[in-house]
A = this chain, B = another copy of it.
Amino acid sequence: MVRSERGPLRVTVWGENVHERTEEHVRAIYPDGMHAAVAAGLGDLLGDEVRVHTATLEQPEHGLPAEVIADTDVLTWWGHAAHEDVDDAVVDRVHDAVLGGMGLLALHSAHYSKIFRRLLGTSCSLRWRNEGERELVWTVDPTHPVAAGVPHPIVIEAQEMYGEHFDIPAPDELVFVSSFAGGEVFRGGCGFHRGAGRIFYFSPGDQDYPVYHHPDVRRVLANAVLWAAPAGERRAAPPGSPSMARGWFEGGTG
């Protein structure tokens, strides 16, 4: 039951890594890529509880071949400029893994990623404005594990605005709601259960701002990784639909 008895949680941090390679001001904030900053935050906060690995779009199979997915308990996903470049076969693989129990953190502009839309079934559209406004992240579910140890509100001095209406299914667990200096609100911290997997969407984190260096944001990501971790063994694949003989559960062990 205690994590350490099962070995560290295996986290794969996926980054699109396009802005960081092509835009100087992004590279100035994230010299090793946004994925490196996310990975460093998890390592700093969770230490031996996790074993963090990174993968990016330009790698073969986007760094997510079957053996990597099979060796991942929780996958974090950041993408923006190149959602359409993600191969459908990789999306299928990640989709199957989430339904089989792998956790998924969808970060900021990943609201429009193929995998997030595939899992939720809606357009995942929203409203936005990139003027570096102050974002306040308010906790509406104070005892939720993803909110543990974070201030109410988290103050992010400059962020892209994401506003309602956010076209998602009603979240199974609504944890954070943000407001922006311009007055908009956004359901920016949402938990979903799909198949055997847990998905957490967290909106702060645009490439133009050093949000993934913010200590409270790092804390949220670390909490969310722990929350999304599968409780038991991952299933190999989503179950089929077996036929069951009448009374199959009788006289046996269930």
Contact = CB atoms under 8 A, between A and B. Distances in A.
Interface of A: 2, 99, 101, 112, 118-123, 125-131, 133-134, 136, 138-143, 145, 148, 151-155, 161, 163-167, 169-170, 172, 174, 177-179, 181-185, 187, 192-196, 216, 230-232, 238-247, 249-250, 253-254
Most buried by B among A99, A101, A133, A254: A254
A216 B252 CA distance: 13
A214 B247 CA distance: 20
25 contacts: A2-B2, A99-B167, A101-B143, A118-B121, A120-B121, A123-B238, A125-B240, A129-B245, A134-B183, A136-B183, A140-B187, A142-B165, A151-B249, A151-B253, A153-B254, A155-B250, A161-B244, A163-B244, A167-B195, A169-B193, A174-B174, A177-B187, A179-B183, A183-B249, A216-B254
Given A136-B183, A148-B232, A243-B128, A254 B167 contact: no
A194 B121 contact: yes
A246 B131 contact: yes
B244 A128 contact: yes
A53 B222 CA distance: 36
Given A141-B170, A179-B183, 19 more contacts: A2-B2, A121-B194, A122-B195, A122-B238, A125-B240, A127-B244, A128-B244, A129-B244, A131-B246, A134-B183, A138-B185, A143-B232, A152-B165, A152-B254, A153-B254, A165-B239, A169-B194, A174-B174, A177-B187
Given A99-B123, A127-B243, A185-B179, A139 B153 contact: no
A136 B139 CA distance: 19
Given A123-B239, A231-B145, A241-B126, A184 B138 contact: yes
Nearest to A198: B143
Given A138-B184, A165-B152, A238-B167, A193 B247 contact: no
Contacts of A164: 138-140, 152, 177
Contacts of A172: 169-170
